[in-house]
Each structure stands twice: as structure tokens, then as C-alpha cells.
Amino acid sequence: MQYNRSETGYSAQYERVADSVTLLGARSIASSTAELGVTALSYDQAVSDADFDYLSHAYAPGNLEELTDLVCGSGSTKRNPVVGVPEVQFYVDGSPMQMRFAETPGRYGTVFGVNSDYCDGGTLDAVFMSSIGSIGEVPWLVEAKRSIHLVRNGHFFLETMPSFAMVSRSEGSAVSGLFLVRGQHQVEVPVFINKLYASDLSEAYVFTPTFFDNPLR
């Protein structure tokens, strides 16, 4: 089966996933072991088997079969999404989903991850796929009907996309990418990683996530 993207990057499969997202809330997580703060977003999401299969093939940063071989091999790492912050996980229906990640070299390299059970003979139920080095390779940013605006204590804080998460690389930089979980689930993922300052520890942050319609669509 062919998994070709359109010339514009538009994906009806991603749009179906994005339309299924219901925002539930967000919270700030301060690391107890590293000078990092993480903002995590929670939402409901539904991904059909067909859309999971299409998106994981068409938007993976390389051949999916080769990537899964890599991520289940000796070059991958079973770890949390944010290095040095064990409090942060990909939570699915309230339970942490253990992931394995593989990276390509360089600050702007890609990160690809799968649920660790897959590497032990289970099914491929979750994938994280960062973009291929440039914003032009992330068609969702310009093609999606809506993005997510996160307001913190009454002020605009950040913009992200439905079903996107942020994962740190082993050397410290961070990348955003599509995080898919097969089926209908409640999900919590990190969407922003920042250096933690003393003021962050004393500040009580209240987040309000809302959808923002893309005027180009």
C-alpha cells in the first residue's frame, strides 16, 4: 500500500485525529532532579486503526519498518520523554506508557519513538515522530484547521498543534512531533520544556487551553 502525502501536505487522516481532540487541561511540572520546567497538556483523542496506520507511515521521518527496527535495536533508549525529569511521562488513560526512542545525530536531528511493548513482540500502539529538520516538513502547521493556544495566568503562553508533544534529546535540546495512540484514550503529554528559574517555583500557574481557528482554512 502507498502512503503518499499530497503536494500541499494536507492530510484528511490527521484532520480527523485533530477533530477528535477534546481539551481537558494543562499543568506545570517542576523537576526535582534537573533545572527544567515542563508544561503538560491533557486531552481526549480518537485514532482509528486506518488513520494510525496511514499517519505512522506517511509522516514518519524515514521508512517506518527501518525506524522500528532501529528503535527496537541497540541504538535506542527506554526512557521518559524528557531526559532528567522522571515526573514527566506520556500518560494514557492515567497510566504511564513506556516508550523507546531513537535519535539521529545533530541538534536538529529527528527523534522517533514507539511503545516499548512493541519491541517485546507486542503491537505497535503508539508512535512519536518528530519533523525532518525544518518547519516546511510539518504540513500540519499550515494545513490544519486549528491550533491550540495555551493561556497561562491570563496571558498567551504558547501555541501547539492537536496531538503534538515535545520530547527532549539526550544532549539537551528538544523537538516537537506528532504523538499518536491507537484507539480512543485520555492522553497527557509534555508540550513545552523550559529552563527552571526560582520565580517558577514560587509562582502558581493556571492554564487555559483553547482552540484557535486557522484563518487560512
Bridge partners of 115? 99
Residue 110 has a pLDDT of 83
- In which residue are the cell numbers 495566568 written? 153
Domain presence at residue 209: no
Domain presence at residue 119: yes
Residue 136 has a pLDDT of 44
In this predicted structure, the answer to whether residue 191 has a pLDDT above a threshold of 60 is: yes
Q: Are 129 and 17 in contact (CB under 8 A)?
A: no
Nearest alpha carbon to residue 45 among 149, 191, 164: 164
Residue-range definition of the domain harbouring residue 119: 12-137+159-204
Condensed to tens digits (0 to 9), the pLDDT of residues 30-68 reads: 887 768 889 999 999 999 999 999 999 988 888 899 999
Domain presence at residue 57: yes
Distance (Å, whole) CA 124 – CA 134 = 27
Domain presence at residue 211: no
Least confident of 1-5, 22-26, 154-158: 1-5
> Residue 133 — very low, low, confident or very high, per pLDDT cuts 50/70/90?
very low
pLDDT higher for 147 or 6? Answer: 147
Domain presence at residue 190: yes
pLDDT higher for 173 or 99? Answer: 99
C-alpha cell at 25: 487541561
Domain presence at residue 212: no
pLDDT higher for 86 or 115? Answer: 115
Instruction: Quote the crossing angle between the two packed helices 49-58 and 12-20, to the nearest 10°.
Output: 120
Domain presence at residue 3: no
Q: What is the number of structural domains in the chain?
A: 1
Residue 10 has a pLDDT of 62
Domain presence at residue 93: yes
Long-range CB contacts (within 8 A, 24+) of 135-140: 139/5, 139/8, 139/9, 139/10, 139/11, 140/9, 140/11, 140/14, 140/18, 140/164, 140/178
